Amino acid sequence: MILVTGATGNIGGKVLARLRAAGHPVRALTRDPDRAQLPTGIEVVGADLGRPETLPAALDGVRKVFLMSLGADKTVHDANLVAAAGKAGVQHIVQLSTLGVETAAGEGRYPIGDWHRSAEEALRASAVPWTILRPNGFMSMAFAWAPSIRAEGVVRAPVADVPEAVVDPRDVAEAAARVLTSPGHEGAVYSLTGPAGLTVPQQVEIVGQVLGRTLRFETVTLEEQREVMLRYFSAETVDGVIRSIRYVIESGDRLAGTVFDDVRRLLGRAPRSLREWAEDHKDAFLAHSAAGA
Ligand SMILES: NC(=O)c1ccc[n+]([C@@H]2O[C@H](COP(=O)([O-])OP(=O)(O)OC[C@H]3O[C@@H](n4cnc5c(N)ncnc54)[C@H](OP(=O)(O)O)[C@@H]3O)[C@@H](O)[C@H]2O)c1
């Protein structure tokens, strides 16, 4: 049995679908099974990574775990799961981390890296065999641009000139499924990127070409970005993300633009390009679309 955390979300949902399609026994973890809208026939367990007492039942009979968690909670949530998995006799945890852990110095200048680094440390310190996936920024972050693209043909973002080799979430999920279901990945750390380092204006140009529209890029201040993010995330997470963006701007973050070959090594093919991603998700950016799901 493979337990998939974040099963109602972006990566976990895709991991669940791939494992299920390949016939592996899977259990989906969600805080609210009634609201979850998971495919019928899937075993679903109600549990909360922030409530350790809910985890033993979720891990009962589980051999492998896909582990993801969010924002400033990552350190504690991953540590909770890792501790419970150790007691439950889990044989392999595949952890979703992030590229950038390598450069996080633990001084609070790059909180996103610090959250993930301490989550990785909790896993490495446990007796459970592990694999760590470090994806770069997801191409799907571009869904946040959909409302202003639809309404005004504009993308607003705070970082203009730092290239990032953004990765297709489908490649991240396929890599996770591969690692969960094939031997030889214990103790490995994989850096998952797309095929090209692209600045946000370059990404916007590609999305515009796919849509057949000329899109405009505008830089926003970090304070403006903070206000937008507060609509969706806790203040603690938003402050950490904003500090991390400031660090990226000030440091130039050369790692983000680096293309790694781990997607190709794991999947035996090139990573999907942003153009492919945009073609496949074009509807979310068209005027008739109500949401960027
Ligand atoms: N976005 C990027 O560009 C990027 C780049 C590098 C790495 N990453 C990594 O990817 C992660 C985001 O993955 P994603 O896009 O798949 O996230 P997502 O779609 O936002 O997933 C949210 C999931 O988290 C679950 N969840 C939230 N709180 C929970 C809790 N207390 N206990 C159990 N489950 C909980 C939700 O489940 P329910 O609501 O059903 O309970 C939901 O399935 C980040 O946290 C980071 O580690 C992201």
* pLDDT confidence bin for 198, thresholds 50/70/90: very high
Give the orientation angle of helix 235-251 with respect to helix 111-124, to 10 degrees. 110
Q: Please identify, by atom number, the ligand 1 atom nearest to the C-alpha of residue 166.
A: 3
With a 6 A CB cut-off, is 88 part of the ligand 1 pocket?
Answer: no
Pocket test for ligand 1, best of 15, 45, 54, 70 (most atoms within 8 A of CB): 70
With a 6 A CB cut-off, is 197 part of the ligand 1 pocket?
Answer: no
Q: Is the pLDDT of residue 290 over 60?
A: no
Give the CA radius of gyration of the chain. 19
Q: Is the pLDDT of residue 157 over 80?
A: yes
The rounded distance, in Å, linking the Cα atoms of 6 and 269 is 26
Rounded percentage of the chain residues whose pLDDT exceeds 70: 97
* pLDDT confidence bin for 103, thresholds 50/70/90: confident
With a 6 A CB cut-off, is 144 part of the ligand 1 pocket?
Answer: no
Map out the domains of the chain as residue ranges.
Answer: 2-137+169-192+258-271
With a 6 A CB cut-off, is 8 part of the ligand 1 pocket?
Answer: yes
With a 6 A CB cut-off, is 10 part of the ligand 1 pocket?
Answer: yes
- CA 36 – ligand 1 centroid, Å: 14
With a 6 A CB cut-off, is 9 part of the ligand 1 pocket?
Answer: yes
Q: Please identify, by atom number, the ligand 1 atom nearest to the C-alpha of residue 70.
A: 45
Token pair for 208? 């515009």
Question: 73-105: b or e for each residue (b if 16 or more CB lie within 10 Å)?
Answer: bbbbbbbbbbebbeebebebbbbbbbbbbebbe
The rounded distance, in Å, linking the Cα atoms of 191 and 56 is 31
Residues 74-95 pLDDT 10s: 999 999 999 999 999 999 999 9
Q: Which residue type is seen at 203?
A: Q
The rounded distance, in Å, linking the Cα atoms of 172 and 178 is 10
Q: CATH second-level architecture of 2-137+169-192+258-271?
A: 3-Layer(aba) Sandwich (3.40)
Residue nearest to atom 7 of ligand 1 (CA): 98
Q: How many residues does the chain have?
A: 293
* pLDDT confidence bin for 293, thresholds 50/70/90: very low
DSSP of the chain, one letter per residue?
Answer: -EEETTTTSHHHHHHHHHHHHTT--EEEEES-TTT--PPTT-EEEE--TT-GGGHHHHHTT--EEEE---GGGHHHHHHHHHHHHHHHT--EEEEE--TTGGG--SSSSSHHHHHHHHHHHHHHTSSS-EEEEEE--BGGGGGGGHHHHHHHSEEEES--S--B--B-HHHHHHHHHHHHHSSS-TT-EEEE--SS-B-HHHHHHHHHHHHTSPPEEEE--HHHHHHHHTTTS-HHHHHHHHHHHHHHHHH--GGGGPPPSHHHHHHSSPPPPHHHHHHHTGGGGSTT-----
Ranges 37-41, 126-130, 210-214, 224-228: which has the least confidence: 37-41
Smallest Cα–Cα separation from 83: which of 53, 63, 115, 47? 53
With a 6 A CB cut-off, is 70 part of the ligand 1 pocket?
Answer: yes
- CA 130 – ligand 1 centroid, Å: 19
- CA 212 – ligand 1 centroid, Å: 32
